Each structure stands twice: as structure tokens, then as C-alpha cells.
Amino acid sequence: MKMKGKHILVCGAGGFIGGHLVRRLLELGAATVRAVDSKPISEWFQVSNHADNVVLDLSSRANCASSVKGTSIVFQLAADMGGMGFIENNRALCMLNVLINTHMLLAARDHSVERFFFSSSACVYNLARQSSPLVVPLREEDAYPAMPEDGYGWEKLFTERMCRHFEEDFGLPCRVARFHNVYGPMGTWQGGREKAPAAICRKVLEAKLSGIPEIEVWGDGSQTRSFLYIDDCIQGTIAIAESGVSEPLNLGSSELVTIDQLVSIVENIAGVRLNRRFNPHAPIGVNGRNSDNTRISRLLHWEPSISLVEGLKSTYRWIERDMLQGSTVQTPITLREHYASEWRG
């Protein structure tokens, strides 16, 4: 199954990943792309003028039904979420995403869509397997026995099971990707919902511009993570959606770094050296998390190709321009298009 000529719905299209996905689907020749988000369009991260851009609250079953009507492929990315600072302090809001997921699955079933894609998360993985920075890369089967991240992780794991049973019981073809720390240009870099790469880029820039050579690092810096660049995320998302693989697949980089190393990479990009002030009381999540890409490589013959250094250079340059221009977190597509040749490489 290919995206060309299809009528596609992207839920959460006003978000970071959703905005990039809408643009790419249009480039691939989708017949129509309906882009839906609950935020006012003026607050969307990207607005593709050739999409059918709609503002709707998808926690409502009626709104989900009207969104799906006339489409054949659904990408369900809509969620109230953010980085670790948001997830650890808003567990109830994260759990309420189940309303969106449930109503979208019902609408997709009722309208007999060809394919339903759900964006899950590495937060579904058993916490006991992530207690050490020297983490063994997480395989898909390591989500069980279930002990995911409280709130957000439970919501994602529960919806994965719903997708499985909707396919088994109702014949709704579902595809599930477990996103691992997606970052890149056109993402949130301030305001409390940003993730580690963007937050560190912002902090390094603030230190450089202020002349105060200090940066706060959450935790002790030894936590380990892998980070997936947005272009790889979009390519992998579409590959999984088009595939015949109904089981969840990791969508992440296997390039593991400590948070301390992440800071050093951004320092090198910025050409500065900063004193590090570690904050052991800040939200840090698990001590170690990495993606095992054996299954996606074997089944789809695909793996991410953009290195962390390459991706961070593009991300840092974009945040620097955005910060110097005094823009808000949300940036119009015109700015993105202006710098597209630089940050896409």
C-alpha cells in the first residue's frame, strides 16, 4: 500500500511530528490530506496550505467520526504530551488521551478505513529494564510483563492492545510505531513541553548569548538515551504504515549517548564551554533507554540514517534563528520553507 492517490487523515497535525508528516504526505502525492488539531491554526507548528486544515477536539466521538469521513488512511498522532517535565507532572492529562485513541479507532472501524496508524512511545517499556545507564537496547517484546511509565506509558500500551484487538475482532488493519525521543527543527524548544535535545540547545544558546558560562543539567548527566531525527521519524512512520507488519515496531535510533555527552555535542556546535550545574531533583525519567532496531531492519530493511551530531547541528541552527528573531514556540511554515535547504541537508 502506498500513500500516493490516497485520502489521508492526520490527527495531531498541528504538532511537531504531525506537521512534518502532513507536508511529506503531500509531497508523496496523496490525493487529499485532512489535517486536524485542537489548537487554533495560528498556533500550529506548520500549516500546509494544500491540506484541508481543520480545528476539532478529537476527544469527542462525533468529531472523530466527522474527521474520518471520506478518508481511507488514518494517522493517529493526536495527544496531550511533552517532554519528561510535562509527562511526570501531568499523568492524568496523559491518560485522558485514551479518549482520543478510543474514539478514533471506533470511527476508523465504522468508516472501514484501509489502514490505521498509531504513534506509540518507548515509554511503554518495562521500567525494570531501564534502571541502569548501561541499558541493553529494548526489544519490542520487552514491553511485557507490563510496567510502563506511569500515566503516559500506560495510555500508550493500552492503546496498542486496543489496536491489536480492533484488528483481530473487527478486521481494522492497524500499524503501531514506538517513537523514541524524536527531535529536530520546527519542534518545541521552550515553555515546558520541550524534549532534551531542544532544551539543551536552548540552554546552551541562552548561556552563549548572555555571556554567563553555566548550564543546568537535569539529573547527574549519566542518564542514557537515543534520539531520532525528525526526517528519519517521518520516513520510518510512512514505511511502517505502508507495511504488512501489524505488530508494534521500534522507531528510534540505536546511537546511545549520556545526557552529559549530549551537552558536550551541543557545546561543540556552539563553540562554547560551560560550567555544569546538575539538578538531581528535576524530572529525569528512566536511567537508560535505547532502541533495538533488529526487528524493523529485518522486516522492513530500514534503519535511521541521520547521526545525532548531524541532526543536532540542524536543530541548533534552527533554534538559534528562531530565538534571535524573537518568535514564539510556534513558527509559520514560511520560516521553515526559507531555511529548509539548510536544515534538511
What pTM does this model have? 0.90
Any domain includes 317: no
CA nearest neighbour of 235 among 21, 8, 9: 21
240 assigned to some structural domain? yes
Angstrom distance (rounded) from CA 27 to CA 21: 10
β strands within 101-150, DSSP E: 115-121
CB within 8 A of 99, min separation 6: which ones?
59
Residue 297 lies in a domain: yes
pLDDT band, very low/low/confident/very high, at 341 (cuts 50, 70, 90): very low
Q: Which three three-digit cell numbers place residue 57?
A: 477536539
Q: Per the residue annotation, which of 152, 183, 229, 316 is the catalytic one?
A: 152
pLDDT average, residue stretch 326-339: 41
Confidence of residue 338 (pLDDT cuts 50, 70, 90): very low
Cell 543539567: give the residue. 217
**Could you list the residue range(s) of the whole structural domain that residue 164 is in?**
7-183+227-254+290-306
Q: pLDDT (tens digit, 9 = 90+) per residue, 82-138?
A: 766 787 888 999 999 999 999 999 999 999 999 999 999 999 999 999 988 888 999
User: What DSSP designation does 171 have?
Assistant: -
Note whether residue 17 is domain-resident: yes
In a domain, 278, yes or no: no
Average pLDDT over the chain, rounded to whole?
91
Q: Tell me the one-letter amino acid at 28.
A: L
316 counts as catalytic: no
Cβ atoms of residues 57 and 80 within 8 Å: no
Q: How far apart are CA 58 and CA 301, in angstroms?
A: 34
The pLDDT of residue 83 is: 67
Residue 36 located in a structural domain:
yes
Per-residue pLDDT reduced to its tens digit, 228-275: 999 999 999 999 999 999 999 999 999 999 999 999 999 999 999 999
Residue 315 located in a structural domain: no
Look at residue 187 in the predicted model and tell me its pLDDT: 84
Residue 107 to residue 265: CA distance in whole angstroms: 45
What's the number of domains the chain is made of? 1
* CATH number for the domain harbouring residue 32: 3.40.50.720
In a domain? residue 31: yes
Q: Give the closest residue to 154 by CA, choosing from 143, 164, 163.
A: 143
Tell whether the model's pLDDT for residue 342 goes beyond 90. Answer: no
Interior CA angle at 160 toward 158 and 161, to 5°? 65
Let me know: does 160 contact 118? Beta carbons within 8 Å. yes
Question: How far apart (Å, rounded) are the C-alpha atoms in residues 270 and 273?
Answer: 9
